[in-house]
A and B are shown apart, each in its own frame.
Chain A
């Protein structure tokens, strides 16, 4: 009986002390802003646009009188921060009034073009959605709504009636851009892609065949950190999932030769679970109707790993030009924005 009392007492004490732990003194990992930045739904100071029944993180640079360029970021799930930042300079703040540089990265094109940047639905600082709510067709609808929005603003503010915009897409932005052109070829004047994601099953298969699998990367620091982090944080909610996903940002594909210092605000981790045309969707059936030209830009280091990729991709467009940037990989637009902007200017100005 005495032994029973001896064992029971410390157990009761421990339970009592545990009950005293004040939950208010702990931080909540799912509270917006603790681990990752808030989205436009949670932070009223972020720039935004209201289109297609949602609010998206978005901003513009330049004069609306100039030709319009819509920028499509990669991922899916990434954001446009690397488009408006550049290596060697302070990473662009998510708050426009805190920026010391206002024309970094490819936003330097604002001197000749009206540049529109937005975070795709469920990505970056745009709102999050539950699984199954975001589809590739919805992404195309959002882009169409954004294009119409700015064409209407242009007409209203300047009297200039235009029916077309230019598109610049990076990585998955190329997949999305091609999917859009396949549906609305008449709305795009010319298109520039930097190392675009696959347009077709053929491109996807070639990409996979030449890419090191995650399994083969066992032992790499980023993968061990990422896997071990699952014992510290389980990705059941958007904030935790997005936070954890950043551990692999710009490190998970050695063939991309990415600079891992490339900045982001936030990744939309749950988008990995969605069918967003990244894999086996064919977005090329109507590209023959596209009257404009494609400028495909790639980094030398990446194309050394995927030598046939650019030819496969360009084969779907009726008119295309290829330019290669030396000594860079998949983060080229952030590493060498001046060189890439010059290539883009020369291309667009000639069309």
Chain B
């Protein structure tokens, strides 16, 4: 049954790709979006984005909040909540340098442990942003600021009975280098695609999928 639901969601989301990145010359201020991909497990994300004009910075600011679930597990125990803001830090004609600062709260439930993590990340995108399309290269760093880990009975019985529960600092971080692009249809529908190469914060292989890939669809209003 869950595979049927996932298939329906996938088919629906393929018809609706949503860009997370702002296309600043949009006349609308609001956007709903959905995104599906591998980052690092399969993730289905829905989000809301709103544009503001920040007078004292003399810049447009786009804030967003999104919630992601693993579509195969479909549980709040394996999810990610992210809030952030995107601001252009340099613009010349259609070339923009955008900065995306975000905070995230992730939840994970495995056979061995349950984990809640707080992370801070920053992504810089440099590219060309036209009214109907955009293309950019991205660079992102995310640091897992602290993580709460609680071990299951299974872990203690089968592997290590003396494992310590509690708040851990420095469980990791990652770098991602990528490219992304998108297009807008009828000034309302956004298509978005990105592919990223992840590394740990010590530039070791991230493990799992060699690439993180996302397809997104949005609706402006």
Contact = CB atoms under 8 A, between A and B. Distances in A.
B169 to A, nearest CB: 4
Interface stretch (B23-31, B91-99, B106-114, B182-190): B106-114
Contacts of A235: 172, 200, 204, 207
A227 B171 contact: no
B166 A264 contact: no
Given A224-B72, A233-B147, A29 B170 contact: yes
Nearest to A81: B159
A261 B156 CA distance: 12
Contacts of B202: 236
Interface in A185-227: 218-227
B73 A4 contact: no
A224 B174 contact: no
A229 B115 contact: yes
A156 interface: no
B158 interface: yes
A4 B171 CA distance: 36
Interface string A33-48: 1111100000000000
B80 interface: yes
A350 interface: no
B42 A224 contact: yes
Given A91-B158, A236-B201, A247 B167 contact: no
B160 A234 contact: no
A266 B160 contact: yes
B214 to A, nearest CB: 14
Contacts of A233: 115, 144, 147, 171-172
A233 B208 CA distance: 13
B90 interface: no
Most buried by A among B3, B167, B172, B202: B172
Interface string A238-276: 001000101100000000000011111110000000000
A221 B204 CA distance: 25
A226 B6 CA distance: 20
B163 to A, nearest CB: 6
Nearest to B199: A234
B158 to A, nearest CB: 5
Contacts of B70: 224, 228
Contacts of A262: 158
B139 interface: no
Contact of A227 (B56, B117, B208): B208
Nearest to B104: A231
B159 A228 contact: no
Given A28-B170, A221-B73, A230-B40, A35 B164 contact: yes
B73 A264 contact: no
A235 B166 CA distance: 19
Contacts of A36: 159-160, 163
Most buried by A among B108, B149, B157, B171: B171
B85 interface: no
B138 interface: no
Nearest to B120: A18
Interface stretch (A19-27, A110-118, A159-167, A315-323): A19-27
Most buried by B among A4, A35, A226, A263: A35
Interface in B50-78: 55-56, 70, 72-73, 78
Nearest to B149: A35
B48 interface: no
Interface in A68-102: 91
Contacts of B178: none
A30 B42 contact: no
B160 A225 contact: no
Given A230-B40, A247-B110, A247-B112, A37 B171 contact: no
B200 A29 contact: no
A180 B159 CA distance: 30
B181 interface: no
B112 A227 contact: no
B78 A234 contact: no
B111 A247 contact: yes
B56 A7 contact: yes
B172 A236 contact: yes
Nearest to B174: A234
5 closest residue pairs by CB, A with B? A234-B172, A227-B41, A26-B169, A225-B110, A228-B41
Interface of B: 3, 38, 40-42, 55-56, 70, 72-73, 78, 80, 106, 108-112, 115, 117, 119, 144, 146-147, 149, 155, 157-160, 162-164, 166-174, 200-202, 204, 206-209
21 contacts: A4-B56, A27-B168, A30-B170, A33-B162, A36-B160, A222-B111, A223-B41, A224-B42, A226-B208, A227-B40, A227-B42, A231-B108, A232-B106, A232-B144, A234-B144, A234-B201, A234-B206, A235-B200, A247-B110, A265-B159, A266-B160
Interface of A: 3-4, 7, 23, 25-30, 33-37, 91, 218-236, 240, 244, 246-247, 260-266
